[in-house]
Structure 1
Amino acid sequence: MTGPLAGLKVVEMAGIGPGPFCAMLLSDLGADVVRVARPGTPHDPNDVLARGRSVLQLDLRDPASVQQVLALVERADALIEGYRPGVMERLGLGPDVCLARQPRLVYGRMTGWGQHGPLSHAAGHDINYIAISGALHAIGRSGGAPVPPLNYVGDFGGGAMLLAVGVLSALFETARSGRGQVVDAAMTDGAALMSAMMYGFKAAGQWNNQRGENMLDGGAFFYDTYACADGRFVAVGAIEPQFYALLRERCGIADDPAFDAQMDRDAWPLLKLRLAEVFRTRTRDEWCQLLEGCDACFAPVLDWDEAPLHPHNQARQTFCELEGVLQPAPAPRFARTPAAAPVRSQGATPDAVLARWALPHTAPRAAVATA
């Protein structure tokens, strides 16, 4: 194991989406993550979020399997799970039981609504969690409905990444206190937290509740996307005066006095139409030749196939390939303890996983798959 988290042992209770993403982040950075999954769970190379872990297939309805998980817990630094409140307790794997077996354990719990509150036991998905945080209301065009931002804000940003930060923070504290604790990561909390800057802008009178009419939500003509002559798009974010001046110069509108009113919100709708006309005069690649790499705060809008081929992404090796599947590479980068390239598996037999964690092979029903 290489990476800054080498030596860290984590038990992952298999789930979907944000839970596996958090486990992938930890594994990418060197943690030894053992994923507890249902028997018969197939290996799917297209499941990018499952990379880099050993998968211990256990039927948790079997008391012997529960004891096997608890044996792993005794050697673990952390456990992460994303079930509804009460599910782990009913399985006999709740935090009280696990912390009794391993007092230094960091027990990471991630749900949409959190472990308590009037909605905590209700079903939901990313779109519901970001709806009550205020984040969803702010995303979309003026006069239109809110637009779901894929599941970046709730599941992955407000959920998985918040859980990763919470678990690592708790581990830092455990190193000093010698005591474990429970981390309650709710996507509603995380999505609200990610909106901190906007709440500050609103308090200062610099942001309003009208979607698509603020500086960073597509309301400003100098911070938006534009269609080109070939139907492809470019993204412009020239906020600062020096960057805006360069954009005007390269776009041939430096001498147009109408564009002097950069921060006049009343002028934004008309200037957006004017700038859209400018960008429709060239193809996306022609605009890239003219603007990319300068301080005009410009970039082409690339699709899933184009992004891995961009020279900047290739130079940084932002993407990699595993089992024929192109996928994002581990991030961030570390100068002294770099993460290794993602691998399919870190143990091919039950004995290998158990021996790696200094445990005897005591559960014949356990089977290790590769992920």
Structure 2
Amino acid sequence: MLSDVRIIEIEALGPAPFASMLLADLGADVITVHRKTASDVPGKGDNNLLDRGKRSIALDLKVPEDIAVLKALLRGADGLIEGFRPGVMERLGLGPDECLSLQPRLVYGRMTGWGQDGPKAGEAGHDLNYIGLSGALWYASPGGTAPFPPPTLVGDIGGGALYLVIGILSALLKARATGQGTIVDAAIVDGSAHMMNLLMSLRAAGSFQTERGHSLLDGPHWSRTYQCSDGLFLSVQCLEPKFYRIFLERLGLEGDSAFEQQFEESLWPDLGARLASLFTSQSRAHWLALFRGSDACVGPVLSPDDAATDPHMAARGVWQDLDGRLQAAAAPRFDGKKPTPASPSPYRGQHTAEILAELKGDASAR
């Protein structure tokens, strides 16, 4: 879909390389400017999974000759992605003004936690810090327990990388229509707060409370996970009354006066305890067989390894083994076609000679 788009990515951590991986999954030519020596941060060494589908050139951005190579790359690029703290790129002489002077239609994508301005812009932080401040962490766990969401998904990926990609794609459309570049300020605090608007709409309608554990999606017995006799877990979320009725019927609880009062908040703790006791009486396989093929909205809570072998996930080819590493296929899909496996992640500097030769050829053509 993006085969005519070239993105230059400056090596960074977490959401920035995820965003450029997603663009590469969509067909963009992503060239990652790796440091000449590997990072000592766990998960950010050579041959990183998030570099799949990209090409790698190794440069030292403190060396004038290597800065000149990067600037030459930017003259032929559609977009740039950087994930440093505010001011770092400017100190390297690679801020938006300098880069847009090289390529006026460049989309300059900036990925940070706190944003390019504001009192905390210069501070360090991580996923939990950002979503804790933005409000997105508040409903992450049941009432009475410490909030803790799936690591990185709400902040780094949801509020960060995906919003950066949306911003870049929007700015690319503008650049093609007007020839004018754009600076995209993608901040995890902004994106993760924006992701809360569905819940905020429920709050405005009176269906969600500020106090945790008292709202339609974080308090009821029909909206939580339950452990089974084998220690495995089920997800239950039969919100609509028609689905809730099916849930009760499958469990033989129809006609129970307490369970029939689905939205009576005062009953939720006791009914949750009753369901917890019931589900621990049998294995997860038993309960999945009981609910199979129904609209009761009950399913397993799987690890990524188990998800890869699930019949539905396997039929869609969601999880793939590439280079001996389990990873999810590109998403979304187009025209009903399954995504093709991404090309392997490059090693640091693997394409340096190839990219330099391309630049030399471009210079010769001029």
Secondary structure of 1:138's counterpart equals: coil
Taking a change above 3 Å as real, the CA distance of residues 27 and 76 of structure 1, as seen in their structure-2 partners, is same
Q: Is the 8 A contact 2:56 2:350 kept in 1?
A: no
2:247 partner letter: L
What is the aligned partner in structure 2 of residue 365 from structure 1? none
Q: Distance in 1 between matches of 2:211 and 2:72?
A: 54
Please list every run of 5 or more consecutive structure 1 residues that lacks an aligned counterpart in the other structure: 363-371
Structure 1 contact 17–155 (Cα < 8 Å) conserved: yes
CA contact 1:105–1:180 (8 Å) conserved in 2:
yes
Partner of 1:352: 354
Q: Normalising by structure 2, report the TM-score.
A: 0.92
Q: What is the CA distance between 1:127 and its match in structure 2?
A: 0.8
Q: Secondary structure at the match of 1:211?
A: coil
State which of 18, 22, 32 in structure 2 corresponds to 1:21.
Answer: 18
Q: 8 Å contact 2:58–2:352 — kept in the other structure?
A: no
Aligned partners of 1:193, 1:359: CA distance in 2, in Å?
45
Alignment of 1:292-307 (within 5 A): 292-307=292-307
Match of 1:273 in 2: 273
Mapped to 2, the partners of 1:112 and 1:26 lie a distance apart of 20
What is the deviation of 1:10?
0.2
SS at match of 1:259: coil
**Counterparts of 1:291 and 1:175, CA distance in 2:** 51
Contact 1:223 1:239 in 2 (8 A): yes
| Alignment partner, residue 30 of structure 1 | 27
Task: Report the Cα distance in structure 1 between the residues aligned to 2:353 and 2:317, rounded to whole angstroms.
Answer: 35
CA positional deviation for 1:45: 7.2
Q: 1:123-272 maps to which residues of 2 (within 5 A)?
A: 123-217=124-218, 219-272=219-272
CA contact (8 A) 2:228 2:281 kept: yes
Report the CA distance shift for 1:252/1:355 in structure 2 as closer, same or farther (over 3 A). Answer: farther
Q: Tell me the number of residue pairs that the alignment of Structure 1 and Structure 2 aligns.
A: 358
Q: Does the CA contact (< 8 Å) of 1:354 and 1:360 recur in 2? A: no
Q: Separation in 2 of the partners of 1:57 and 1:139?
A: 40
- The amino acid across from 2:198 in the alignment is M
Structure 2 CA distance for aligned equivalents of residues 44 and 321 of structure 1: 20
Runs of 4+ in 1 over 6 A off after TM superposition: none
> Per the alignment, do residues 243 and 173 of structure 1 end up closer, same or farther by CA in structure 2, a change over 3 Å counting?
same
For residues 288 and 337 of structure 1, do their structure 2 counterparts lie closer, same or farther at Cα, with a shift above 3 Å needed? closer
Aligned to 1:41: 38
> Is this contact kept in 1: 2:104–2:180, CA < 8 A?
yes
Report if the CA contact (8 A) 2:110-2:185 is conserved: yes
Contact in 2 for aligned 1:141/1:211 (Cα 8 Å): yes
CA contact (8 A) 2:316 2:338 kept: no
Cα distance, 1:349 vs structure 2: 3.9
**Aligned twin of 1:10:** 7
Q: What is the CA–CA distance in structure 2 between the aligned matches of 1:356 and 1:337, rounded to whole Å?
A: 32
Question: In the aligned structure 1, how far is the partner of 2:74 from the partner of 2:310?
Answer: 43
* Distance in 1, Cα, partners of 2:142 & 2:190: 25
Q: Paired residue for 2:96?
A: 95
Whether the 8 Å CA contact 1:109–1:183 is kept in 2: the answer is yes
User: Is this contact kept in 1: 2:225–2:233, CA < 8 A?
Assistant: yes
TM-score, normalised to structure 1, is: 0.91
In structure 2, how many angstroms separate the alpha carbons of the residues matched to 1:31 and 1:60?
24
Task: For residue 259 of structure 2, give the secondary structure of its aligned residue in structure 1.
Answer: helix
Unmatched 5+ stretches in structure 2: none
**Partners in 1 of 2:136 and 2:350 — Cα distance?**
43
Instruction: Describe the shift of the 1:353–1:339 C-alpha distance in structure 2 as closer, same or farther (beyond 3 A).
Output: farther
RMSD: 2.1
Aligned 8 A contact 1:139 1:212 in 2? no
